[in-house]
């Protein structure tokens, strides 16, 4: 048995943090949560003493790309696959060490994510649990055309989805609107025709897979949501009516605020990219406020601004989330979005032991999320400082 002595325990169920608790981990799962006064370890037990730290669930990043770093994405994608894979291996390690134990990869070049997931699951390289989407589906010349599967027409759309399913993806990713990081792309344009979007969702749902739609704003939001899309990614330019529609339909919104803020401030960001972000960044606060007000289901993603869950938490706090609600967006909500909340997202007996310890109290100071001292994934210790 492994025992984690917790200074403060935030189980992320929404109950108040508790002190004097010990988490008992048997194999890959949490066996018991006991009071420190009842704690009687045997000589063979392993003790992880985090009595000066806050212990919480491993974080869940619902929108990332292992192969991409912030900046000129077209230039990065022109590198050979071997180089992209090395980048992905580096990022997977960094992301896990930052306390992100589950990550939804929403699009990689040439199915690199398929092999990354295989290598992580086989224990060849360290990395978070991955949910993968294979190649993002993009109309010819559309947003991130350098990254994904260019697809045109209903028949080709069905084929593109089937190609992803054949490779064993967990989720289908479609670029419904234009994007920031592609030169000449308008983030509020609807890139696919309505029938193409409907065909994508129909094909994925018949195979039991959800669809994640990249949508900054514009008419594509209503089209995709009415066609039954499962998650809207980014949504930084959507209207109040769009937000109400998400709430009515129970469609998830994955907020990726930090990457915009970071890219706007980074001198390495291409000028066209920075100009587009600067036009919309301020207005996106209203979207987050409406999402809170209307009760939209929200999770978060770093989207190339790797490992900065503190920035996502800040974006939610600034829009009216309580510290506990914001922390749950980084943990429990992510698990719900991924369909993994039976096993992940909170610290409870019977769940998988994805556990982290941070220095400080993240409910008071979100920078504590940058000071990760313990990372346990499925009961295995990945970081212990």
**Smallest distance, Å, CB 369 to Zn ion?**
21
> What is the three-class DSSP state of 232?
strand
Q: Which is nearer to Zn ion, 179 or 378 (CB)?
A: 179
Least distance in angstroms from the C-beta of 30 to Zn ion = 32
Question: In whole angstroms, what is the distance from residue 133 CA to residue 164 CA?
Answer: 7
> Taking CB under 5 A as the rule, does residue 108 contact Zn ion?
no
- Alpha carbon 382 to its chain's center: 20
Least distance in angstroms from the C-beta of 136 to Zn ion: 8
Rounded to a whole number of angstroms, the minimum distance from the CB of residue 158 to Zn ion is: 24
- Between strands 355-358 and 372-377, the pairing is antiparallel
Interaction between residue 191 and Zn ion (CB under 5 A): no
Closest approach of Zn ion to the CB of residue 179, in Å: 8
Closest residue to Zn ion, judged by C-beta, is: 303
Residues 287-326 that bind Zn ion (CB under 5 A): 303
Give Cβ neighbours of residue 14 (< 8 Å, ≥ 6 apart): 324, 328
Give residues with Cβ within 8 angstroms of 12, minimum separation 6. 56, 57, 327, 328, 331, 332, 345, 346, 347
Residue 230 binds Zn ion, judged by CB under 5 A: no
Q: How far is CA 191 from CA 76, 212, 223, 279, in A?
A: 23, 15, 12, 20
If one asks whether residue 113 binds Zn ion (CB under 5 A), the answer comes out as no
Cα 307 from Cα 328, distance rounded (Å): 17
Residue 335 Cβ vs Zn ion, minimum distance, rounded to whole Å: 20
180 or 368: CB nearest Zn ion: 180
Q: Toward Zn ion, which CB reaches closer, 108 or 303?
A: 303
Q: At closest approach, how far in Å is the CB of 63 from Zn ion? A: 6
Considering CB under 5 A, how many residues would be counted as binding Zn ion?
Answer: 1
Task: State which residue, 105 or 354, has the beta carbon closest to Zn ion.
Answer: 105
Residue 203 as a binder of Zn ion (CB under 5 A): the answer is no
Q: Which is nearer to Zn ion, 48 or 224 (CB)?
A: 224
Nearer to Zn ion, 257 or 377 (CB): 257
CA angle 120, 124, 125 (to 5 degrees): 60
d(CA 261, CA 4): 36
Query: Which own/partner pairs from 315-318 qualify as long-range (CB within 8 Å, at least 24 positions apart)?
Result: 315/255, 315/257, 315/258, 315/261, 315/288, 316/255, 316/288, 316/292, 317/366, 318/285, 318/288
Which one, 133 or 251, has the nearer CB to Zn ion? Answer: 133
Q: Which residues sit at the interface with Zn ion, rule CB under 5 A?
A: 303
């Amino acid at each position: 048995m492994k025992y984690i002595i917790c200074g403060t325990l935030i189980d992320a169920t929404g109950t108040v943090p508790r002190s004097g608790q010990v988490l008992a981990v048997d194999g890959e799962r949490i066996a018991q949560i006991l009071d420190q006064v009842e704690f009687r370890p045997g000589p063979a037990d392993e003790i992880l003493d985090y009595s000066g730290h806050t212990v919480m669930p491993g974080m869940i990043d619902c929108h990332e790309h292992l192969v991409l770093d912030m900046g000129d994405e077209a230039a990065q994608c022109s590198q050979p696959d071997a180089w992209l894979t090395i980048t992905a291996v580096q990022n997977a390690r960094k992301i896990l060490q930052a306390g992100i134990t589950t990550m939804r990869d929403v699009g990689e070049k040439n199915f690199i994510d398929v092999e990354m997931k295989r290598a992580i699951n086989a224990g060849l390289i360290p990395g978070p649990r991955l949910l993968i989407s294979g190649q993002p589906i993009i109309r010819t010349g559309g947003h991130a055309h350098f990254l994904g599967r260019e697809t045109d027409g209903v028949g080709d759309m069905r084929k593109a989805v089937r190609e992803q399913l054949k490779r064993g993806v967990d989720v289908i990713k479609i670029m419904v609107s234009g994007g920031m990081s592609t030169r000449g792309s308008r983030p509020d344009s609807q890139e696919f025709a309505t029938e193409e979007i409907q065909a994508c969702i129909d094909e994925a749902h018949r195979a039991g897979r959800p669809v994640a739609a990249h949508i900054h704003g514009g008419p594509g939001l209503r089209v995709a949501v009415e066609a039954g899309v499962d998650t809207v990614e980014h949504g930084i330019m959507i209207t109040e009516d769009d937000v109400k529609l998400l709430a009515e339909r129970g469609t998830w919104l994955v907020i990726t605020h930090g990457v915009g803020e970071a890219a706007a401030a980074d001198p390495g960001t291409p000028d066209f990219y920075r100009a587009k972000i600067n036009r919309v960044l301020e207005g996106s606060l209203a979207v987050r406020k409406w999402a809170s007000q209307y009760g939209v289901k929200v999770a978060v993603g770093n989207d190339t601004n790797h490992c900065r869950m503190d920035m996502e938490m800040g974006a939610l706090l600034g829009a009216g989330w309580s510290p506990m609600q914001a922390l749950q967006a980084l943990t429990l909500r992510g698990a719900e979005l991924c369909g993994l909340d039976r096993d992940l997202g909170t610290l409870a007996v019977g769940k998988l032991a994805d556990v982290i310890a941070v220095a400080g109290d993240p409910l008071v100071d979100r920078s504590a999320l940058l000071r990760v001292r313990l990372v346990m994934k499925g009961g295995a210790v990945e970081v212990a400082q």
